[in-house]
Structure 1
Amino acid sequence: MGMGFLKGLIWLDLGGNNLTGNIPFTISGLERLQRLNLYNNMIEGLILEEICQLRNLGELDLSNNRISGVIPNCISNLSLLERLYLGSNRLESSIPLNIWGLENLFSLDLSFNSLGGHLSSTMKKMQTLEYLELSRNEIAGEIPSIIGAFESLRFLDFSNNSFQGGIPQSFGNLKGLDLLELSYNNLSGAIPKSLEALPYLKDLNLSFNKLVGEIPSSGPFVNFTAESFLGNSALCGNPVFGVPPCPTIPTYQNSEMKNILIKCILLVIASIITLVILVYLLRRLRKSNMEIPTSLNEFPALEHRMISYQELCQGTNNFCESNLLGVGGFGSVYKGILSDRTIVAVKVLSLQLSGAFKSFDAECKVLRTIRHRNLVKVITTCTNPEFRALVLEYMSNGSLEKWLYSHNYCLDLLQRINILVDVASALAYLHQGQSESILHCDLKPTNILLDEGMVAHVGDFGIAKILVENKDSTHTKTLGTIGYIAPEYGFEGKVSIKTDVYSYGITLLEVITRKKPTDDMFTGDFTLRQLVIASIPDRMMDVVDEGLLRIEDGRDTIALQSILSSIMELGLRCSEELPDTRMDIKDVLVKLNKIKSTFFENRNRVTRHDD
């Protein structure tokens, strides 16, 4: 297979075929390749080091094949890699240490292999990793505590290995963790009480280990059942967990512990008094100009890059129509190239439109306070008395709207699930990631943009609202898009975080059905939501996007129907009439990740059956 001459190729997807043989060494000639998908085939041989020459690669999916040998050390050369899927192969040896140095890695799946060795305690802290799947291997040794510093981690599955030692206390720092799977290992010691601090932990499986002591009872543990703790004979605690009550501590031990506690408290109080006296004396000696800043606001703010109006004119060919990317409610967006060759999107406001200045101020206020991998990044602003523009990160694959309705494009099911996960992650961050909730108020496919790796980014915050802390809702003039607006927003101008959840639910249904909520077929009380409700369960496949069904043709029909049904059920639960009955976006994320795991499990099952 000679393919090295395809030097301009960006995306190669040959997944789900019956390819045999080895990966050709000529693959190194695909210099600009960003996505390489060879999953669900019968490819054998090794992972060639030639793959490490594809320096622009953002996604590598070789899962569900018969690839053997080791993961090459040169994998660290792929510094832009975001998704690495090598699951369900025949890989051996240990995981290369430098794989943990891939700073942009978002998702790592090495499950269902024969990988052994230990996970090194010297691995680097991974800032962006959200999905870590190492199940069904032969990895031994202790779980490194550094994994507790992977702050973005949402999904962690180390089940069916040979891990020993205790569950790291540092796992209590994984505040965004939705799923923790450690079953079928040789873990010992107590279950860390630090896990009680994980607010979004919905799935926990510690069964069939050698854990001892009391099972924590607060935080997420109030929702767990005995299934999470089976096969650990020395656990105790609440009988609801299927374990005996813990023995009470003898009275004399209680008394001794109280004495120790009192001594510790007195020691702390004495230390505080001493510290206060020292601080007082130190301040008396200092001059007035030696004061220490007490607020973050007293430190100089970080500044965005300065870009002149002239540079924007030059970079957009004087805002030429050929550079126009799209037109929105308050202005136009142009593709531009800055003086350092950075490609950007320039959002220019039409100042003559009513509300344009308010829109610009709202967007600036929101964008300067947030940063998340699934939000469009603002690079800087450019203003003068007659001009207002936002300079934004350029999204080379355009909008979700384009991918849904252009005849030249079609998304497979995994891509759609990934996009829905990305958007839900962005909303969860906006709603719950800071002290004051941020509402988008206009979520729809045109405001969901896709980068070169098909990662979704939510943009266009022109009518966003910031809710002050402890306030559930506010009232405002309705400016959202018909079809996506929640009922309470459209009729009363009332918004809350559940307003965005409604728009998300409608968008989700649109992504699966490829039908706009504003389509001519929807009149009166007959809506996209009513169409989906009427189709479940018997005629569900009649409303699913025909293009999606063509792509997924050949999959297990029952499994596919089950996955699609679960997704559409989420859409319906998010778009309920009453705000209080809609799902929390964090729970939506948990459900979507479960659906994604089911998707991979079914794909693995089909592959193993074919083998």
Structure 2
Amino acid sequence: MIVHASLLFAGNQCLLFLVVVLLHASAAIAAAALDNSTDLASLLAFKAASTTTSGGGGAAAASDNIIAANWTTDVPFCTWVGVRCSRRRPRVVSLNLSSFSLQGTISPHLSNLSFLSSLDLYNNSLSGTIPDALARLPRLAKLRLSQNHLSGPIPPSIFNNMSSLVSINLHDNNLSGSLPTQVMLPRIEIISIQSNLLTGHILAGLARCSTLQWIYLGGNKLTGSVPSSLGNLSELVVLDLGENQLTGAIPASIGNLTKLRLLYLAFNHLKGEIPEELGNLVNLQKLHLHVNGIVGSIPISLCNASKMIVLSVSTNNLTGPVPATLGKSMPFLQWLTMAENALSGGLDFIASLANCKDLNTIEVVANQFEGVLPDACGNLSMNLQYFHVSDNDISGKIPAGLGNLSSLISLNLSSNELRGTIPRTLWRLKKLQMMYLGSNRLTGLIPSDIGLMTNLAEISFVDNEFSGQIPDSLGNIRRLQKLEYLSVNKLSSTIPLSLWSLTGLLRLDLHQNRFGGLLPPQMAKLKAIGYIDLRSNRLSGNIFSALGELQSITYLDMSNNSFHGQIPQQLGRLFNVEYLNLSHNFLSGVIPKSFSNLSYVYSLDLSFNMLEGEIPEGKVFSNVSITSLMENRALCGAPQLKFPPCPANMITTSTSSAKLRLIKFVLPSVASVLVFLACFSLLVKIFMRKKAKASYKEEPPCLNYHRRIPYFELARATDSFSEDNLLGSGSIGKVYKGSLDDGLLVAVKVLNLQVEGASRSFDAECRTLGQVRNRNLVKIISTCSNLEFKALVLEFMPNLSLDKWLYSQNQCLTLLQRINIMLDVSLGLDYLHHQHPHVIVHCDLKPSNILLDENMVAHISDFGIAKLMLIDNKSTTSTNNVGTVGYMAPEYGLTGGVTIRGDVYSFGILLLELVTGKKPVDTMFNGELNLRQWVNNAYPIAVMEIVDNNILRTDFTNLQQHSDGVDILRRCLSSIIDVGLHCTKDLPNERLLMRDVVPRLQEIKNGVLVN
């Protein structure tokens, strides 16, 4: 009985325990449900705030569809895309929506995700401010909001109230204001806030963050000095403060950072000397101090940095010699740039660089080095590609050993005091593309061996004392584009016929030599030529009429020769010429009336000839001065130039004098009638011209659609074209950011009218942009044009150019962004080629001409050399330029004609560049290998070996979410490469058309979004 009672009591205890456990479990379940509901509400609030679009298509809308379909309450939120929950409980610990094309703002409700340890919204289009409430996330270790459009200040609480934070990535936004004054981040390792609009000083309080390893604050507007307290950060590996407005000296305490690998202080206003203490940085690999105001010498102690790979101190005020043992102390050196200083002494340090087996670049131009180039130059690295020592006081001979540098691509020895002949060994440099020996005292002949250097694209021998003939073998250099610097020598004889077979030649400058003989008709083969300078030679004979076929030419100078005969009427067909000088010859006859068609000429000189007859009317003659026509035999007309009026009975044709005598003496009655009719016709013509002039105003064609903006408003908008507002510069002008009187942000493209091609480019761009309407073409807002000033006012693109994104250390494009950009570009080209009433060929498609708006939508820009196809829809038209090397279709250099398939080729190169991250003019590509061949060799087996590493880095998280993620990426890249290879086939007719490219890219994009 007692035993039974005991068992009963024990049973009751077990039951009681079970009840207690169940009650606790119920409470836990209820609490979990409550916590779940909080996380769910926070995620839904984020969804509502950050996926709002303004309608339309594009990647953002597609992302909306994915989130709308995936982020629903029908399934647990822990299964939503981008959401990761804890294994122990259904609480959100990670939110990763990087590269999702999100728009809208960041919801402050994210602060309710109390277990969140990682927030990654990298590479979207989010705007607004960073919510201060994020500082309430106690477990947050990773905060990555970089590459968005966030603005406003950084909340101080983020730097002062987040004890778990390990990394802050806010780079590439529009954040402004100063850095928070209080810093309390005991675990922080990475602070990356470069490429924003931050002002103020660098906080000395950062020195309290003893765990810091990476500091990126470059590309802002920070002022003040570099805090010496940063020298206390003993764990620091990277210190990037470049591209700011920092002043003062480099603190010696930086030398305490013995783990430092990268020190980037370039593009500031730093003064003082390079501290001796930097020699303590034994692990330093990259030192960038260029473009500052640093003085003094290069300290010998710097040689202690034995792991140095990049040493860049160009554009400072450094003086004194370079340490002779520099190369022996830095065996891993690859890049040495000391250009634009006042460094002096001998060049012994170059001999020490023979110890650097991976050396790629030596750049010491524009200094005061003297002495001779050491023979040890021949012992430099076989990997050396750039050897530039121009603009110094180097004397002696060119070392024969330079011919051993078999990888050399560019050799620049110009503007020194070099003497003697060119060593025959230099002609062994088969990979050499640029050879600059100008402005020295070199003598002798140009040997025929120069024809062996078949990869040469540019040759500069200007201002030397070369004599003899141009070797006939020069015609073997089929890649030659610029032969502009054989001028100012003592070359004689005739110009070899082989020279005229270089159909890819863009510039030819042979002025101030002793060339004689006739110009052959073969000269007309140079269809791509844009610049010819033959002045001050001994050339003679007639100017052949076929010269009028060179319709790409913008600069032609044949002055100070012995040409005679009449000026061919066909020269009036040089529609793109801007500078034309035929002065100081023996030309006779009348000025061709066809010259009235030369609407782009800003300088015409026909003086000191034997011309006669009436000066034609037209734009070109309304702008010339009397000095351009002086010292001729009997010119008349042009009363504004004070020439005598033409006789009333003057006949301004080329009729022979025998026929004139016949008219005068044999047919007087007929002559009287003809004179009467001629006068009457002339009066009618003058009246009609005046009437036409009164009703015609020379305005750019785009002004029919857009209001004009006066110069003073543009000056006010750009702060008098301040360098602070400079967005970029090109060959014919500069582009400034401006704010018009109504607050509209614009890009103002100001053309340099002194540069050949500028006026023509302005009119071409006006003509093209004025008649196109497409989302993916840059829009023209207005113009400002007069005789002294021409500017285009274009829509402002805050994300600048594709080139900036591809080759910036601070910016990176995901695969989806790259596909979106190429789809945008293809749509723009499809419009130009197939949808516009007149087919338009862009002619110069490249990354710097692809601009990105605030939503990363691509817009094709720079229509300065665009061509409108003939109305009868012929497939080709002549070009006055041939685009950019590397992107230019191969047939352009052969025929000088352009087609829409030339644009397709450029687009294909652009596709391959986006996949590989390699420029088509990368140093790895020589005469035997180009970008297309390199990609084709890897396709399809080894695609992953040539892909841009940035794609793998930015899409790594997405790859991890799929068991077959790598295969998905490989298939996608293979599809893109396939399109690129089909667009870049050698034969134009085998290439795709843009209307075929668009659906293929759309299909590729859809596949990426699905996965």
Q: Whose radius of gyration is greater, 1 or 2?
A: 2
Please give the TM-score of this superposition, normalised by the length of structure 2.
0.32
Residue 886 of structure 2: which of 464, 467, 483 is its match? Answer: 483
Contact 2:983 2:992 in 1 (8 A): yes
Cα distance in structure 1, aligned partners of 2:723 and 2:754 = 19
SS at match of 1:487: coil
Q: Following TM superposition, by how much is the alpha carbon of 1:49 offset from its aligned partner in structure 2, in angstroms?
A: 5.5
Is 1:416 equivalent to 2:813 in the alignment?
no
Q: Which residue of 2 aligns with 1:464?
A: 866
Q: Following TM superposition, by how much is the alpha carbon of 1:471 offset from its aligned partner in structure 2, in angstroms?
A: 0.8
1:357/1:539 Cα in 2 relative to 1: closer, same or farther (>3 Å)? Answer: same
Structure 2 matches for 1:16-165, cutoff 5 A? 21-22=39-40, 24=42, 45=44, 59=60, 61-62=63-64, 63-64=66-67, 65-68=70-73
1:445/1:558 Cα in 2 relative to 1: closer, same or farther (>3 Å)? Answer: same
Residue 739 of structure 2: which of 337, 350, 355 is its match? Answer: 337
Q: Following TM superposition, by how much is the alpha carbon of 1:377 offset from its aligned partner in structure 2, in angstroms?
A: 0.3
1:309/1:401 Cα in 2 relative to 1: closer, same or farther (>3 Å)? Answer: same
Contact 1:381 1:390 in 2 (8 A): yes
Structure 2 matches for 1:78-477, cutoff 5 A? 303-469=705-871, 470-477=873-880
Cα distance in structure 1, aligned partners of 2:47 and 2:752 = 53
Q: Which residue of 1 aligns with 2:1000?
A: 591
1:48/1:441 Cα in 2 relative to 1: closer, same or farther (>3 Å)? Answer: closer
Q: Which residue of 2 aligns with 1:97?
A: none
Is 1:517 equivalent to 2:926 in the alignment?
no
Contact 2:865 2:881 in 1 (8 A): no
Is 1:497 equivalent to 2:515 in the alignment?
no
Is 1:559 equivalent to 2:962 in the alignment?
no
One-letter identity of the residue aligned with 2:71? R
1:253-304 CA distance string (max 9 Å, x none): xxxxxxxxxxxxxxxxxxxxxxxxxxxxxxxxxxxxxxxxxxxxxxx99541
Q: Which residue of 1 aligns with 2:953?
A: 550
Contact 1:378 1:391 in 2 (8 A): yes
One-letter identity of the residue aligned with 2:812? C
1:472/1:561 Cα in 2 relative to 1: closer, same or farther (>3 Å)? Answer: same
Cα distance in structure 1, aligned partners of 2:808 and 2:102 = 29
Q: Following TM superposition, by how much is the alpha carbon of 1:414 offset from its aligned partner in structure 2, in angstroms?
A: 0.7
Contact 1:348 1:389 in 2 (8 A): yes
Cα distance in structure 2, aligned partners of 1:345 and 1:396 = 10
Contact 1:478 1:490 in 2 (8 A): no
Give RMSD over aligned pairs.
2.8
Q: Which residue of 2 aligns with 1:582?
A: 991
Q: Which residue of 2 aligns with 1:8?
A: none
Q: Following TM superposition, by how much is the alpha carbon of 1:504 offset from its aligned partner in structure 2, in angstroms?
A: 0.2
One-letter identity of the residue aligned with 1:443? L
1:325/1:595 Cα in 2 relative to 1: closer, same or farther (>3 Å)? Answer: same
Cα distance in structure 1, aligned partners of 2:52 and 2:997 = 38
One-letter identity of the residue aligned with 1:576? K
1:288-343 CA distance string (max 9 Å, x none): xxxxxxxxxxxx99541231100000111111111111112211111111000100
Contact 1:483 1:518 in 2 (8 A): yes
SS at match of 1:22: helix
Q: Which residue of 2 aligns with 1:532?
A: 935
SS at match of 1:561: helix
Structure 2: where are the runs of 5+ without partners?
Answer: 1-37, 75-100, 105-701, 960-964
Contact 1:47 1:67 in 2 (8 A): no
Contact 2:943 2:974 in 1 (8 A): yes
Contact 2:882 2:892 in 1 (8 A): no
Cα distance in structure 1, aligned partners of 2:48 and 2:910 = 41
1:406-441 CA distance string (max 9 Å, x none): 011111111000000000000000011122100100
SS at match of 2:833: helix
SS at match of 2:39: coil
Cα distance in structure 2, aligned partners of 1:422 and 1:349 = 28
Identity among equivalent positions (%) equals 49
1:482/1:558 Cα in 2 relative to 1: closer, same or farther (>3 Å)? Answer: same
Q: Which residue of 2 aligns with 1:256?
A: none
1:53/1:518 Cα in 2 relative to 1: closer, same or farther (>3 Å)? Answer: closer
1:238-261 CA distance string (max 9 Å, x none): xxxxxxxxxxxxxxxxxxxxxxxx
One-letter identity of the residue aligned with 1:392? L
SS at match of 1:332: strand
1:531-572 CA distance string (max 9 Å, x none): 101111222111110011111225211111001000011001
Aligned residue pairs total: 339
1:56/1:394 Cα in 2 relative to 1: closer, same or farther (>3 Å)? Answer: farther
Q: Following TM superposition, by how much is the alpha carbon of 1:598 offset from its aligned partner in structure 2, in angstroms?
A: 1.2
Q: Following TM superposition, by how much is the alpha carbon of 1:85 offset from its aligned partner in structure 2, in angstroms?
A: 10
SS at match of 1:590: helix
Cα distance in structure 2, aligned partners of 1:51 and 1:23 = 14
1:564/1:381 Cα in 2 relative to 1: closer, same or farther (>3 Å)? Answer: same
Cα distance in structure 2, aligned partners of 1:486 and 1:573 = 13
